Amino acid sequence: MNILVIGSGGREHAIVRKLKESPKTDRLWCAPGNGGIAADAECVDIGAMDIDGVVRFAQENPVDLVFVAPDDPLAAGMVDALEAAGIRAFGPRANAAVIESSKVFSKNLMKKYGIPTARYEVFSDPAAAVAYIEAENRFPVVVKADGLALGKGVLIAEDLAAAKDAVHSIMEDKVFGASGNSVVVEEFLTGPEVSVLAFTDGKTLRPMVSSKDHKRALDGDRGLNTGGMGTVSPNPYYTDEIAQTCMETIFLPTIRAMQAEGRPFKGCLYFGLMLTPDGPKVIEYNARFGDPETQVVLPRLKTDFVDIIDAVIDEKLDALEIEWSADACACVVMASGGYPQSYPKGIEITGLDENGQVAGATVYHAGTKRAGDKLVTNGGRVLGVTATAETLDAALEKAYAAVEKIHFDGAHYRRDIGRTK
């Protein structure tokens, strides 16, 4: 099978490397890919949002399947366009991807179908949002941009002044563009966070192994929200009992709700959960593989990835058993200095071999590019250094040992991945 993967980050690199393991994969392209992905797939100079360009490439080349990984092209209808052209595609159609691309839609869906989540209100007027926050007078409070914002559109305000700043920056300064035309203001939930990705064909749902993301930029869960600074799998707080509760109260009700709304979801559905004192609640949905959760979940997958993709597209997931390794996996993200705000690009990376790898770990490239015979930084999150072992402690030890071998000026990474609640 010849497969084209859409995207250019660490998630896409993990997807490419897992597809490469399958004996059913003959040829792999990635559009646009990056400096590290180029060692594992043929990179094609087509932007992830160039729907016409992707369809044209798939028509003009022997492409059997297109795997649409990022949120933006899914929300923009890339899968719809590919299917309309008769091309097999993995990922939800636009009318289902809205579960991520509109926080307002997803919160209203949960309210309508009784899926546990934080209390919230929706506002399109900044003054009304501030008035509500003042009247509630409960802090911290969470202010979310309605639309897509690279995983950074969630601001946690510790007091009224910070809450006013959050509303002002999202709705008036438009730091996230049109994604901030509306905001969701919701209660701040407490408890361990869990990420659960799930394969679904619109009817059957198969959860993957659990993981834990570390969103904040700095150690001790301080600093700004990022796209994710590291992950571990399994999540130590996610017990079999909690998994069963989530299946009954969150996972299956969500799939049924989307069906009932005429928006059947086929692809990978991501559940961002908080294990609160009142039970598991949904923080957010993503309509695709999470980043960097994918980098610790897919290495543990034993079943042929291509078989799962086919079962999802053909709606035969109920007939497939999916196996996972018992090993633990840890990923430490090395980011550019200044991330998640402004940061430099084009800084040389040393310590990697000619394939962009390092002994003792797998390096998933998120923001790199080739500059002659050098590998240089080209994004906020640069590398995801990932290791597997029998225990989580051993996996973390291997990952951090590998991080020490890699260098670029200003490199920033958290030193407490897997050590926080």
| pLDDT tens digits along 17-41 | 999 999 999 999 999 999 999 999 9
Domain pair 119-187 / 193-319, same fold: no
Looking up tokens 């729907």 gives 51
- Containing H/E element for 225? strand 222-225
Topology adopted by domain 2-91: Rossmann fold (3.40.50)
Cα–Cα distances in angstroms (integers) from residue 387 to residues 40, 100, 211, 415, in the given order:
18, 29, 14, 15
- Determine the Cα angle at 369 with ends 363 and 371, to 5°: 125
3.90.600.10, 3.40.30.10, 3.40.50.300, 3.40.50.970: which CATH number matches 328-403? 3.90.600.10
Helices 103-113 & 252-260 angle (0-180, nearest 10) = 100
Burial class (CB in 10 A: 0-12, 13-18, 19+), 282: buried
pLDDT of 421 reads: 66
Looking up tokens 């402690």 gives 393
C-alpha span between 250 and 281 (Å, rounded): 8
Contacts of 96 (CB under 8 A, 6+ apart): 258, 263, 264, 265, 266, 267, 287
C-alpha span between 17 and 298 (Å, rounded): 9
- Containing H/E element for 89? strand 89-90
Cα–Cα distances in angstroms (integers) from residue 418 to residues 231, 391, 392, 421, in the given order:
7, 12, 8, 8
Q: What beta strand segments (E) does 304-373 contain?
A: 328-335, 362-365, 368-371
Give residue limits of the domains in the chain: 2-91, 119-187, 193-319, 328-403
Phi first, then psi: what are they for 311, rounded to 5°? -65, -35
> Do the Cβ atoms of 59 and 87 come closer than 8 Å?
yes
> Do the Cβ atoms of 389 and 331 come closer than 8 Å?
no
Token reading at 70: 């990022």
CATH of domain 119-187: 3.30.1490.20
> Do the Cβ atoms of 295 and 386 come closer than 8 Å?
yes
State pLDDT tens for residues 296-338.
999 999 999 999 999 999 999 999 999 999 999 999 999 999 9
Number of C-beta neighbours around residue 233 at 10 A: 30
The answer to whether residue 273 scores a pLDDT higher than 90 is yes
Q: For the chain, what is the mean pLDDT?
A: 97
Q: How far is CA 288 from the centre of its chain?
A: 7
State pLDDT tens for residues 362-396.
999 999 999 999 999 999 999 999 999 999 999 99
Q: Which CATH class is domain 193-319?
A: alpha beta
What's the residue count for the chain?
A: 421
pLDDT of 420 reads: 78
- Determine the Cα angle at 5 with ends 259 and 269, to 5°: 25
State pLDDT tens for residues 169-185.
999 999 999 999 999 99
Residue 353, amino acid: D
C-alpha span between 184 and 180 (Å, rounded): 10
The answer to whether residue 165 scores a pLDDT higher than 80 is yes
Q: What is the pTM (predicted TM-score) of this model?
A: 0.94
Average pLDDT over residues 112-136: 96
